[in-house]
Structures are given as C-alpha cells and as structure tokens.
Amino acid sequence: AIQMTQSPSSLSASVGDRVTITCRASQDIRTDLSWYQQKPGKAPKLLVYDASRLQSGVPSRFTGSGSGTDFTLTISSLQPEDFATYYCLQDYSFPRTFGQGTRLEIK
C-alpha cells in the first residue's frame, strides 16, 4: 500500500498568515492526490483534486501543488473559518490512503 506522510501534524497560526501543509507519497502517484478540510463533528470537505485543481466554490486562497511524491496545500491568508484539520488522499491505486492529518489551530 502507498503510504502518505503528512506534515506537520499540527500547526499554530494567526489570521492573515500564509501556511503550507505537505504530503509525501511513498511512491510516484503522478497528480492523483486530493485535499480535504474537516471541522469537528462534520464530514470532510473536498478542497483540491488532481493535486492542483480547486473544487468549485472553494476560495482561491487555497492552492494545491506538486506531482510525483511531493505535494503541498497552501492557504495564502488564513481566515477564521480555515482553522480545521486537513487531510491528503492518494487515489492513484487501491487501497486508497489518507495522510494522518494536520490540525491547524489559532495562535
């Protein structure tokens, strides 16, 4: 199975900050990666797919990049509603695998 290593596991930041979350795959997954945001008690929400395509309705401050084994999710200017947990997911092969998550907290 492909392992997805996400970092950092937690991050403290302030409103207006630029933050970057990374995900590394244990093998080449091309651009078969998506990013999800999850708030407590809620279902995950799709943000980015195919590594860099922004899901409809998602603010442009979210940017995904990368290919092969290294990927990033960048939030250009944090808003209060962005404090949540973020997960990457590889869809290159089965079994699908998620990163372990990055909890983004208010500093």
Partner 1 sequence: EVQLVESGGGLVQPGGSLRLSCAASGFTFSSFEMNWVRQAPGKGLEWVAYISASGSSIYYADSVKGRFIISRDNTKNSLYLQMNSLRVEDTAVYYCATESGYDRFEYWGHGTLVPVSS
Interaction site with partner 1 (CB under 8 A): 1, 32, 34, 36, 38, 42-46, 49-50, 53, 55, 87, 89, 91, 94-101
State how beta strands 102-106 and 10-13 pair: parallel
Q: State the minimum distance, in angstroms, from the CB of residue 96 to partner 1.
A: 4
Q: State the minimum distance, in angstroms, from the CB of residue 87 to partner 1.
A: 5
Is the Cβ of residue 19 or residue 90 nearer to partner 1 in the bound state?
A: 90
Is the Cβ of residue 49 or residue 83 nearer to partner 1 in the bound state?
A: 49
Q: State the minimum distance, in angstroms, from the CB of residue 15 to partner 1.
A: 25
Is the Cβ of residue 24 or residue 45 nearer to partner 1 in the bound state?
A: 45
Q: State the minimum distance, in angstroms, from the CB of residue 19 to partner 1.
A: 19
Q: Among residues 58, 40, 59, which one has the least CA distance to residue 105?
A: 40
How far, in Å, CA of 33 to CA of 27, rounded? 12
Contact 47, 37 (CB under 8 A): yes
HSE-CB for 16 with a 13 A CA cutoff:
0
How far, in Å, CA of 107 to CA of 66, rounded? 28
